[in-house]
A = this chain, B = another copy of it.
């Protein structure tokens, strides 16, 4: 596996120069502690942990996987110890509320940390990632007692959490779920059913596991309006809040998966397990949806993670591997052949990975900023605007960054030639690990319908208009600077086209509902390329500004401008195909009888 070295210079450039996080934190109520010095120290410490502790365990996790014996799951060598170090370092509590024992730092800092942990070792990072979701759910919907009992232990990291949604017959369509909850005499519920694909569902890294479970109360309405949310701890608590008897929830089996072997993906059997209702009856899905955005951004991080790891691995190989001569004449005449980085197509593969990783980084940090603002913004207007932009960007971030992350992972492997296919190099693990990201937390198709149907058309275009207006202002502000033309002009042109195409799809969808579904994935990818172009244009502006002022590292800044140009000239033109195919109509999909797909 390529060793991961957190790209701190690029991370700081994205945070400080492009997105002005120093200003953001200075003006964010409750973020007083997130001073530049503190942020810097956290980045440095987080980088050390990711690089020195987690990265070396990445290949171990893949090779060993998790094992189930007598109901107990053993995680790969070193995972448990790394988790203990993580807890000892106070990382689980970083962005949690002070009232629950957290450090109260902004959520966006957690995104940056999860980028580093996830790039170093995605399988490992999923364990605390799941806890994070459980913590958010309990913080928002748990009673004071529930928070005292469970949340505090999650915040300290002593226990971990899960999200138990999927059943074998329903993933996307949760309205079909069958797990049922029968009231006990003591106010608790007996939960019975089988959940599948439960990440971190059983393991040996923490003493107790807090399962957040969707189930159906007896007599509840059918479909999504009859689903409630429960806490089901692996060990029930005694009256004084300590760990008591083992609850009747057990791991029936571990899934054998293509990748992320280090994470335990469990079938969980609930046999009248003792559970506690969170939030109002039959409103479970609403409680969950509150955090869908956060969870989806968490998965979007995975796209960036695999792109960055692919880039680091393949860049090192391309500098080292000698094969053929440069078409322009020998670049390393003293060696038997030139390093393959001299070849234009190898550079195309490297730069694609680089542009997607660095572009994805800015995109994600902006999402983190919006989460901060949506939760803690100074006034209602700020919070609402952030909430709306986040609603628009979340499905794009999730689907676009994971799709392009998978592309980057494959390019990283391709640079290695035959060696890329061999396990010991780790590049194929990166591809296998990346592949799940386009599926879980809502497939690309589900995100696309969320974006086009719910967010864009569902708001009568309001969410998109607010965003294209923002881009328009940005382009106007910088459109007169000739050295910026190559970055601003393609963006400005597509920004106008984006609105126009959306209107055409909206009109078509009014006539035929299938038109939205038929356009959706192409529309999402098209939108993704424009959003990423907006970030690359901002990066170019920031780099030019620093260069003009004689500030910063000129070599770094010129490489940044070069990559922005590469993005505009080599990746952004993908919009031209998508603009055509998304408008090609639903008929070329729907006018074939299901029975005639294969004869």
Which residues of A are at the interface with B, using a C-beta cutoff of 8 A?
7, 9-10, 166, 169-173, 176, 196-197, 255-259, 311-312, 315, 319, 322-324, 327-328, 336-337, 339, 341-351, 354, 406, 410, 413-414, 417-418, 420-424, 428, 431-432, 435-436, 438-440, 443-445, 448-449, 512-514, 516-518, 520-521, 553, 555-556, 558-559, 562-563, 565-566, 569-570, 573-577, 580-581, 584-586, 588-592, 594, 596-599
A215 to chain B, nearest CB (A): 17
Compute how far the CA of A550 lies from the CA of B584 in the bound complex, rounded to whole angstroms: 31
Please determine whether B348 and A258 come into contact, CB atoms closer than 8 angstroms. no
Please indicate the chain B residues that have their CB under 8 angstroms from the CB of A599 in the complex.
9-10, 553, 555-556, 559
A571 to chain B, nearest CB (A): 8
Please determine whether B573 and A323 come into contact, CB atoms closer than 8 angstroms. no
Please determine whether B520 and A597 come into contact, CB atoms closer than 8 angstroms. no
The answer to whether residues A257 and B584 also contact, given A315-B597, A344-B590, A559-B599 and a CB cut-off of 8 A, is: no
Main secondary structure of the interface of A (DSSP, over half): helix
Instruction: Please pick, from B170, B311, B337, the residue contacting A323 in the complex, using a CB distance under 8 A.
Output: B170
The answer to whether residues A590 and B417 also contact, given A173-B323, A327-B513, A570-B581 and a CB cut-off of 8 A, is: no
A245 to chain B, nearest CB (A): 32
Please indicate the chain B residues that have their CB under 8 angstroms from the CB of A346 in the complex.
445
Assembly of this chain: how many copies? 2
Please determine whether A169 and B322 come into contact, CB atoms closer than 8 angstroms. yes
Please indicate the chain B residues that have their CB under 8 angstroms from the CB of A406 in the complex.
410
Instruction: Please pick, from B414, B443, B556, B569, the residue contacting A414 in the complex, using a CB distance under 8 A.
Output: B443
Please determine whether B257 and A589 come into contact, CB atoms closer than 8 angstroms. no
Please indicate the chain B residues that have their CB under 8 angstroms from the CB of A431 in the complex.
258, 435
Compute how far the CA of A598 lies from the CA of B599 in the bound complex, rounded to whole angstroms: 52
Chain B: which residue is nearest A168 at the CB level? B419
A221 to chain B, nearest CB (A): 14
The answer to whether residues A559 and B597 also contact, given A171-B417, A417-B171 and a CB cut-off of 8 A, is: yes
A313 to chain B, nearest CB (A): 11
Compute how far the CA of A562 lies from the CA of B590 in the bound complex, rounded to whole angstroms: 10
Please indicate the chain B residues that have their CB under 8 angstroms from the CB of A197 in the complex.
418
Instruction: Please pick, from B7, B323, B324, B328, the residue contacting A513 in the complex, using a CB distance under 8 A.
Output: B328
Please determine whether B343 and A517 come into contact, CB atoms closer than 8 angstroms. yes
Instruction: Please pick, from B257, B344, B581, the residue contacting A514 in the complex, using a CB distance under 8 A.
Output: B344
The answer to whether residues A327 and B574 also contact, given A171-B418, A417-B443 and a CB cut-off of 8 A, is: no
Please indicate the chain B residues that have their CB under 8 angstroms from the CB of A418 in the complex.
166, 171, 196-197, 439-440
Please determine whether B423 and A257 come into contact, CB atoms closer than 8 angstroms. yes
Please determine whether B594 and A565 come into contact, CB atoms closer than 8 angstroms. no
